[in-house]
């Protein structure tokens, strides 16, 4: 006699025996319907130089583990358009995401990849009416970026990382998304003065809206930070979990960052609430995070209820 697995609300499984199959079949259908109806919609935001097409594997993983989930991969600012300034992107993504949120009384989840994680932070901080339950940040340079990568070479081919501050911390530089979160640990004063995105979100520069932004951000129920040492693009990789270089290029972990200690945008509150989850995996290169099913199973699947 074989066991039958019956899905319950929330997608967990309980065992029952085959003898009850006749009784169970109609119930099984109802349960599938209930499980499908119970999953919150998922909104996915892509990264630099990507488009929605890059996230189809992730969509498939979700569809398989949580059948019937309404998944929206937002198709905006694709390819080179992803270099547009992040505030412009926040407004663009917000316009598409807001109606989805309004249609989802039970709330939604965000999965935001790479640069998309910073776009999502901007949305969560500036959209008071949001009902995002879990914000999953998938290898995103949340505390900034300071590293030579191929991505950078497409944008500023003739610069090395130690010189990029000259472009990024000028008026023109901030018109490129990358410069909005370029954080040169050797030029922190200029970073704070010039960055009109990350330094505002982090409360590293005076921001009259910070209290309100913090309240908005803290409406999320869970924050999941996914990253790992073999990323190869996010530098330092710990930035995906809010760690960053000090002026000696030594990584200082999240708990010792000023924005954490001062709780400027709510990170410490989330940690104290028990709603901050860190998921670190090795062996994953930057462009593989969204297409690696092990990553999905280990770090994302359980949150998508």
Ligand X SMILES: *[C@@H]1O[C@H](CO)[C@@H](O)[C@H](O)[C@H]1NC(C)=O
The minimum distance between CB 3 and ligand X, in angstroms, equals: 22
The string of DSSP letters for 203-255 reads TSS--TTHHHHHHHHTT-SEEEEEE-TT-SSSSSGGGGGT-EE-TTS-EE-GG
Binding residues vs ligand X (CB under 6 A): 41, 59-60, 63, 67, 70, 72, 100, 103, 171, 190, 193-194, 200, 207-209, 248, 281-284, 288, 292, 294-295
* CA 99 from centroid of its chain's CA atoms: 20
The minimum distance between CB 23 and ligand X, in angstroms, equals: 25
Catalytic residue among 133, 231, 240, 264: 231
Catalytic residue among 50, 66, 114, 139: 114
Concerning whether 231 is annotated as a catalytic residue, the answer is: yes
Nearer to ligand X, 16 or 52 (CB): 52
In angstroms, the CA 205 to CA 210 distance is: 10
The minimum distance between CB 256 and ligand X, in angstroms, equals: 12
**Residue that is written with structure tokens 């259908």 in the block:** 29
Calculate helix-pair angle for 86-102, 115-126, nearest 10 degrees. 60
Closest CA to 144 of 93, 187, 90, 199: 199
Concerning whether 184 is annotated as a catalytic residue, the answer is: no
Nearer to ligand X, 149 or 288 (CB): 288
* CA 86 from centroid of its chain's CA atoms: 14
The minimum distance between CB 174 and ligand X, in angstroms, equals: 8
Nearer to ligand X, 82 or 126 (CB): 126
Nearer to ligand X, 59 or 240 (CB): 59
By CB neighbour count within 10 A (0-12 exposed, 13-18 middle, 19+ buried), where does 113 fall? buried
The minimum distance between CB 152 and ligand X, in angstroms, equals: 21
Concerning whether 114 is annotated as a catalytic residue, the answer is: yes
Contact status, residue 185 vs residue 249, Cβ threshold 8 Å: yes
In angstroms, the CA 152 to CA 165 distance is: 12
User: Nearest to ligand X by Cβ — which residue?
Assistant: 283
Nearer to ligand X, 28 or 100 (CB): 100
Catalytic residues: 114, 231, 286
């Amino acid at each position: 006699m074989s066991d039958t697995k019956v899905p319950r609300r929330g997608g967990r499984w309980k065992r029952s025996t085959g003898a009850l199959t006749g009784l169970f079949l109609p119930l099984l259908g109802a349960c599938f319907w209930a499980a499908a109806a119970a999953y919150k919609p998922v909104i996915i935001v892509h990264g630099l130089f990507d488009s929605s097409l890059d996230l189809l594997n992730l969509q498939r993983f979700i569809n398989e583990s949580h059948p019937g989930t309404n998944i929206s991969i937002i198709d905006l600012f694709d390819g080179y358009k992803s270099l547009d300034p992040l505030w412009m992107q926040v407004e663009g993504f917000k316009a598409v995401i807001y109606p989805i949120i309004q249609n989802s009384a039970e709330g939604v989840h965000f999965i935001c990849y790479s640069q998309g994680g910073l776009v999502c932070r901007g949305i969560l901080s500036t959209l008071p009416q949001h009902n995002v339950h879990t914000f999953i940040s998938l290898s995103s340079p949340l505390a900034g970026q300071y590293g030579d990568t191929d991505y950078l070479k497409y944008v500023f081919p003739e610069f090395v990382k130690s010189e990029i501050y000259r472009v990024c911390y000028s008026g023109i530089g901030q018109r490129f998304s990358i410069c909005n979160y370029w954080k040169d640990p050797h030029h922190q004063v200029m970073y704070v003065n010039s960055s009109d995105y990350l330094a505002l979100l982090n409360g590293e520069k005076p921001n009259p809206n910070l209290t309100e932004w913090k309240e908005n951000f803290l409406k999320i129920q869970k924050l999941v930070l996914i990253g790992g040492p073999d990323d190869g693009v996010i530098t330092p990789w710990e930035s995906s979990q809010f760690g960053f270089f000090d002026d000696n290029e030594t990584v200082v972990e999240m708990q010792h960052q000023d924005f954490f200690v001062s709780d400027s945008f709510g990170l410490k509150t989330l940690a104290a609430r028990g709603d901050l989850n860190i998921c670190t995996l090795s062996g994953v290169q930057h462009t593989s995070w969204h297409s690696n099913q092990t990553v999905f199973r280990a770090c994302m699947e359980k949150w998508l209820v």
